[in-house]
Every structure is written in structure tokens, then in C-alpha cells.
Structure 1
């Protein structure tokens, strides 16, 4: 059976304790009282777990940004403590999750991102899910299994053990394969179009059962590409296919032409370079949420310039 929703006042208490413990003045006595509160009821422990699940999203943020968001949120929570006690606000309202974009998902629902947008959610089982630009997925967590369907695009999944008394299997279905993570695990799947896809594993192991071809188990640090026509190619899991969840495009000795193809996924219009520049190699980190800034950085560090031959068409060419 699915766990019943927690009472709003219990969630508010958990958020209130979170705010207290973020206060630098919180001492051993305050922490002892928090520990006693958490141990007093299974609902208290479950509410605190939800708080930790949502706030765990800071693990993937740069340290300065995480601390800034944490400080802002904790300050807001401390200021609203009395109002929360009176109003019994739910967890999402308490945390003001727009600071970092986290949302706690219902057991079922459609997930989607627009061009240039990335989103991320906390799952009810303690896992986390990210969708990259221009992606579409469905979530279906039922009594017998946990199922995610990726219809198009790219996702990153932090898979955790089920919290139900009888653990439900976790499956990711795509148009090319069914993926079964051996929890805990962290992995990305990318639909590359034209019958191709890429699995990159960063923690744990993932079993991949393609529509055509043998089932494979992929270990942490490795990737497996399904080629159009049914072939498979094993390789190294690149930071590129995980860093987008943190708003970064990582270039590791990447061809300029390939870099521009990646960057173009986050912006409208055509983006390319003249043939003489295609083989230039890049190393660095670039912001996916500000493609124009990334292009300006290239123009400042490489012998090239930005041109716009027509509306909607951006081209890089060698600097005169």
C-alpha cells in the first residue's frame, strides 16, 4: 500500500526544526530536543526524511550557490515560524522550493521541459529525477512497481531503495530499452534520435535490456551506447551527460562542432561554425542556461568571432 500523506502540521513542524538547526546559535540542547521530537513518532521521522530528501538537492549545486540558497531559505523559515505554526502550511509552501527548483512529485503524473529548460524533482521514495532540455516523461508509482517512462529527451535519475514494506521494483522504460537500476544508483539516459540512445552510469549498476540485442549490466564509470540498427558500443561515462543537471556543459577535449551541437539544444535557431574551425578542441565548463554567454566566452578565448548571417542563424568563423 502507498503511505498516506503526512498531516500538514507535522510537515510544518519538520520545516520549523530545519530552520532552528540552521541557526548558528543552535546548541546541543536544541539538537537534543530535535532528536527527541523526531523519535517521538513515526510520522515525525517520515516528515524529517522528506525535508532531508528535498534539501539533498543542494548536493549537486556549486558550494557558493548552495550556501546562498540555504541561508536565504533558512532566514525565511525562521521569520515565518510563528505563522507556520498557526497556519499549518504544507511542505512545498514552507520551503519555497523555487529557490532551487525542487518539487515533491505525486505518485503519478506527466513531466516535461521546454527548449532550454532543465527541471528536477524529489521523488516520494527518496530518489531524485532531473529532465534535460526539451524532454517528456511520465511517472507511475503504483502498489506493485515504480515505473518511469521517457518519451523523448534526456533524464538523470538518483535511484534509491523503496521505502515500502514490500519493496517495488524500479523500471525506466524508453523507446529503445528497459533499464533496471540496482539501487542505490545514479545514471543518465539520453535519447539520441534515429534509433540511438546512451546510458551513462555514475553510481551503482544498471541493467539494460534493449528491444534488440542482449541484456547488459553497466557499472559505475561506464557507458553503453545503443546504435541505430542494434549495435552496442561501450565506453567511459562522461561528465557531460551528468553535469547538465547542475546547469553546466562540460567540454573534455571536445570538437568545436560537437560543442556547438550540444549548446544548440538549449537555444532556438541554427548554431554552427565554418568548416575550418570544426576540429578546434575545447576544455572547460559553460553555462547551459545562458548560451550567449558561452558563445562570448569562446570568442574571447579562441581566434574566432560571432556572426549572424540571417535572423535565427548564428555562425562562428575565424577572426580576421
Structure 2
């Protein structure tokens, strides 16, 4: 069963403890106080585990008011003591984070999901019927398996299903209900659409209000959106390669490539408009996205401009 939605007050307290411990530099007395708070109630420990497990996904720039605090923290011209800057950041985050986390954002979705992955994390799970599910970076799903149905609800992100049994597996996405038969397929909720790729076997597309069933055959790639289901004649990236820890591209735009890489790392990553249409073809390993970025100037006439480890922009050499 899915975990209960975390209470905003307890989440706020857990974030506050996290920031205080980070600021204190591992103060033993403060660590003991935090331990006492965690052990006082079960929901305290539950909130703490979720916050610490997913803190890498808490992009503080998305919290209202935190952008200015982070800018102050990172700008050396301000010459604020680290403790002062952290206190400023902590105040902003505590004031806005509980409400922010209470909204239907991906981080909260992960907390209230049966299974989830963080940024850069991939996970493989055996489903109750013997099928195999792989979750890509920053993804969350709920399971509803019974004698009557085998349903996976993709809440956000990307998954790969390998159907081993003679029974089909249903995957509910934002845009359609997919029914996979013996074989392997990938479903990725990308912005305003769902992308589906079938390695082998076949997948049926069931859409609300559409009595006509469509089929995705082996080797095909489709886009599902509010306008309907459309087969893609050309794709510039191997949709299955991430399961092997790879990005495999064929004549892919640099801007689109960086968008994919940003799914596996924290912070800002983009490129200037004048080089956005440069093309890449190759095999890139995902285990170290930062090293991957530093390979770009070896293959393209570009350079990296890096303000902090969290802010990288790719620009022209000229």
C-alpha cells in the first residue's frame, strides 16, 4: 500500500533539523537532540527518513524565496560568513517549504508512492506476477496487483516493464492506459506527453473515450498526448539504453542532449542559443554526469562555463 501523505508540520520540523545539523558542523549535542526528537514519535522518524533520503531532490531554488538566499550563499562578493548565509537560507526554507511540499510536486509524489527513485538513481524490482520493473531517474509508481488486475500507476518519470508471464501488465500514465503483453517496453512521461517504446512483444493503447484500440509493435516508438497517439518515424535516442546506464544518441540536438543529462544531475544545465542545434552521435555513460559534460569540448566546438558545481552553461568557443 502507498505510504500516507506526510503532515506539513512534521515535514517542516524534519527539514529544520536537517538544516540545523548541516549548519552546526556535526555538533554531538545537537545530534543527540535530533535523535530524541526522532524517537519521540513514529511520524517524526518517518518524516526524517523521507527527508534525508530525498533531500538531494529538494532543489531549493524551487522553493519560494530560496533563490535569493542561495544566491547570497554562493556569491563571494557578499562575503557573508557561511553561518550567516545558512541562517538566511534556513529561515527562507522553513517559512516556505512545508507549504511547497504539500503541493502535488514530484518530491511529495515520491514520498507518497509505493516505489520511487531520486535524481541519478535507477532501481530494478520484481513484480508480484514475476514481471520485471525498472525505474529510471526521478520516477515514482504505485502498484495495484490482485487476482483481477496487474496495474502499475506511473506518477512521474520513466519505467521499463519486462513481461515474463502469459498475463498482460497494465501501466496507467497521464495520457493513456498501456497494456503490455509478453515482451519489453518503456513508458516516459515527458512534459505534456507520454513516450512509449517497445523493444519486443506488443503494447495496446487504451484511451478514455476512444473505443478503438491501437497497437504498438516491436521496434516502434510512439508519442501519446491530448491530441491522440502518433507513431514517431524517427528518434534521436535509444529509449532502452538508460537501463544499461547509457545515453545512446544519433544526430541529437545539443540542447535536447543536455536536457536528458539534466535528468540525472542536480542544478542548472543549459546551452546558449547559437549552439543549441549542434548534433551529437555516440554512447555516453551516465555514472558520472559531470565527467560526461567535460567530454563535450572534445567532440564539439564548445566550452563549459561553470559558476558553481550546480550551475553549468555550455557556450560556443568563439
TM superposition score category, shorter chain reference: 0.5 to 0.7
Q: Deviation of residue 290 (structure 1)?
A: 1.2
The answer to whether the Cα contact below 8 Å between 1:222 and 1:237 also exists between their aligned partners in 2 is no
Q: Matches of 1:122 and 1:302 in 2, distance apart? A: 41
Q: Matches of 1:114 and 1:241 in 2, distance apart? A: 19
- Which of 174, 198, 201 is residue 201 of structure 1 equivalent to? 198
Q: Deviation of residue 294 (structure 1)?
A: 1.0
Q: Deviation of residue 133 (structure 1)?
A: 0.9
- Which of 300, 303, 307 is residue 301 of structure 2 equivalent to? 303
The answer to whether the Cα contact below 8 Å between 2:245 and 2:286 also exists between their aligned partners in 1 is yes
- Which of 274, 277, 294 is residue 276 of structure 1 equivalent to? 274
The answer to whether the Cα contact below 8 Å between 1:221 and 1:236 also exists between their aligned partners in 2 is no
- Which of 248, 251, 258 is residue 250 of structure 1 equivalent to? 248
Q: Matches of 1:212 and 1:197 in 2, distance apart? A: 18
Q: Find out whether 1:158 has 2:162 as its counterpart.
A: yes
* TM-score, normalised via structure 2 length: 0.60
- Please name the residue that 1:18 is paired with: none
Q: Matches of 2:130 and 2:206 in 1, distance apart? A: 25
Aligned-residue RMSD, C-alpha: 2.0
Q: Check 1:311–1:293 CA distance in 2 against 1; reply closer, same or farther (3 A cut).
A: closer
Q: Check 1:225–1:130 CA distance in 2 against 1; reply closer, same or farther (3 A cut).
A: same
- Please name the residue that 1:81 is paired with: none
Q: Matches of 1:241 and 1:303 in 2, distance apart? A: 27
Q: Deviation of residue 250 (structure 1)?
A: 1.1
Q: Deviation of residue 270 (structure 1)?
A: 1.2
- Which of 133, 146, 149 is residue 153 of structure 2 equivalent to? 149
- Please name the residue that 1:223 is paired with: 221
- Please name the residue that 2:264 is paired with: 266
Q: Find out whether 1:128 has 2:132 as its counterpart.
A: yes
Q: SS of 1:241's equivalent?
A: coil
Unaligned residue ranges in structure 1 (runs of 5+)? 1-108, 163-167
- Please name the residue that 2:169 is paired with: 170
Q: Matches of 2:281 and 2:191 in 1, distance apart? A: 26
State the number of aligned residues.
204
Q: SS of 2:174's equivalent?
A: coil
Q: Check 1:237–1:145 CA distance in 2 against 1; reply closer, same or farther (3 A cut).
A: farther
Q: SS of 2:114's equivalent?
A: strand
Taking the TM superposition and a 5 Å limit, the aligned residue runs for 1:40-119 are 110-119=114-123
Unaligned residue ranges in structure 2 (runs of 5+)? 1-112
Q: Check 1:111–1:236 CA distance in 2 against 1; reply closer, same or farther (3 A cut).
A: farther
Q: Deviation of residue 217 (structure 1)?
A: 0.5
The answer to whether the Cα contact below 8 Å between 1:187 and 1:203 also exists between their aligned partners in 2 is yes
The answer to whether the Cα contact below 8 Å between 1:287 and 1:293 also exists between their aligned partners in 2 is no
